[in-house]
Amino acid sequence: MDMIGILDFGSAGNIASVANAFRRAGAEVKVIRRLDEADGLEGTGGTGKIGNRKGTGSLDGLVIPGVGSFATVPMLATALGKKRINVPVLCICLGMQALFNGSEECKGAQGLKIIPGSVKKLKGKVRLPQLGWNRVRIEKKDPLFAGIASNEYFYFANSFAAFPKNRGAVLCSTEYGQKFASAVRAGNFWGVQFHPEKSGRAGQIVIRNFISICESQAAAAVPSIDIMGGKAVRLRQGKRGTRKVFGNPLLLAKKYEKAGFRLIHIVDLDAAFGGKSQLAYLGKIARKCPDLKIQWGGGIRSFENAKAAFSAGAYRVVFGTAVANTPDIVGKCVEEFGSDRVWASLDFSGKSPKMMVNGWEKSASLSVVRAIQLAKSCGVGGMIISSVDADGMGGGPRLQLLKTARALSRKPIMLAGGVRNPDDIEDALSLGADFVIVGRALYDENIKLGEWLCLRKE
């Protein structure tokens, strides 16, 4: 997940509660007062990268919260500056109203003019301000409201509301004295009149959906490094005796970071096979590659293992064997660290695929259906679906596994095993994968890194 910037332009008022809500959903948060605090807003080449200073990381999305009067919108405009914003932006309450031309609340104060229309005082025999829960009717499908039923309740605090000129911008509507737009969208800008940070379960779903939207802007290809004995290696179908060394893991990680990747998948094969963990290497890569988010897996089978990995610098940990054997431990980690920072790796082998555990050396005798049910019951943020039989073979991924997994779950999915070229990734994305893990195909360098980086999920 992601580094989300929250813009404190001087009078938002609810910065702390918004920041805490995003942290609970698994995002890293950086509060900024001006966008020029985040370098590289324009000219990002479509990567959606805000910020390129070493050690500060990059913003994957921006949140503009707001409580108060439209009179403060000029302060917001100053904080935004004139740089182009290429990442997803979520505007809350006054932040949403600021997207429009102007407001009756403060005549003369200009809005951001991103969506044509105006903000007007609510009419009707109702008490103002509207304070409390109200229904939100979904008018148009959008990923921001995935998993939200129409007429779900959200928390509002407003006397004024937005009335877009173009109904095509309206995602949701709400009735309070009169019908008004309660959620809108224009390109990479989303606006919600309600407060998702105060809206309980439904609000957290919206926040997690926004985080997923931000994540989907990243490259679909995720580089993978398998570490064994301090070396970057590849095994064929996970078998120990098939090791082929490809060099220094740190140098490979630096190479991927320099190319522009933001997320990397690293597997500790020593720990996966029951040996000594490579956490020292994790710490070294995390220190030397500050712009990489490290997804760390292999041998993580306890709460202590996960905590140690996070302490060493992992952004996300991946459980495999523990999902099958001790799902309660996985659930505990989800509660402690957040769902987006705890994923499941479900690795299958055989014509009637069964989940493999303990470094792929044993079968858990779990079908694809049962394994995914277990992972979902743990509350993990997403799943890696892998074919042991295809891994390291260069014969193409097992897309049927992906089809089955996507039919069973709406959680983010990474497909792994057998990826040869960008066409394999395009096929996987078309069937519902969110990301595709690439290992040996990157090691072999038959395809330029830029071609992998250009692949995006629509």
Quick one: how far is CA 172 from the chain centroid? Answer: 23
CA-based nearest residue to 88, from 165, 27, 175, 132? 27
Whether residue 14 contacts residue 28, with contact meaning beta carbons closer than 8 Å, is answered with no
Q: What CA–CA distance (Å, rounded) separates 1 from 378?
A: 18
Whether residue 13 contacts residue 67, with contact meaning beta carbons closer than 8 Å, is answered with yes
Structural domain 3-216, CATH architecture? 3-Layer(aba) Sandwich (3.40)
Question: pLDDT category, 40, cuts 50, 70, 90?
Answer: very low
Segment (H or E) for 417:
none
In sequence order, what are the beta bridge partners of 161?
A: 120
> 356-372: b or e for each residue (b if 16 or more CB lie within 10 Å)?
bbbbbeeebebebeebb
Domain regions of the chain by residue span: 3-216, 221-453
**Mean pLDDT, residues 189-200:** 96
Three-state DSSP class for 220? coil
- Residue 18's alpha-carbon distances to 22, 128, 252, 425, 427, in angstroms, are 6, 24, 37, 35, 37
Whether residue 240 contacts residue 198, with contact meaning beta carbons closer than 8 Å, is answered with no
Region of poorest pLDDT, from 77-81, 117-121, 301-305? 77-81
Question: pLDDT category, 205, cuts 50, 70, 90?
Answer: very high
Whether residue 259 contacts residue 450, with contact meaning beta carbons closer than 8 Å, is answered with yes
| Enzyme catalytic residues | 93, 195, 197
Whether residue 46 contacts residue 52, with contact meaning beta carbons closer than 8 Å, is answered with no
Whether residue 264 contacts residue 223, with contact meaning beta carbons closer than 8 Å, is answered with yes
In sequence order, what are the beta bridge partners of 80?
A: none
**Mean pLDDT, residues 427-440:** 92
* CATH assignment, 221-453: 3.20.20.70
Write down the pLDDT at residue 219: 77
Answer whether residue 391 shows pLDDT above 80.
yes
Whether residue 231 contacts residue 50, with contact meaning beta carbons closer than 8 Å, is answered with no
- Mean pLDDT over the full length of the chain: 88
Region of poorest pLDDT, from 7-21, 223-237, 337-351, 421-435? 7-21
Q: Measured between alpha carbons, how far apart are the two ends of the chain, in Å?
A: 18
Whether residue 19 contacts residue 29, with contact meaning beta carbons closer than 8 Å, is answered with yes
- pTM score of the predicted model: 0.61
Q: Tens digits of per-residue pLDDT, 48-62?
A: 333 332 333 367 889
Whether residue 367 contacts residue 408, with contact meaning beta carbons closer than 8 Å, is answered with no
Whether residue 180 contacts residue 174, with contact meaning beta carbons closer than 8 Å, is answered with yes
Name the residue with tokens 């929250």.
6
Write down the pLDDT at residue 451: 81
Three-state DSSP class for 372? helix
Q: What CA–CA distance (Å, rounded) separates 317 from 330?
A: 10
Amino acid at 395: G
Q: What CA–CA distance (Å, rounded) separates 193 from 53?
A: 34
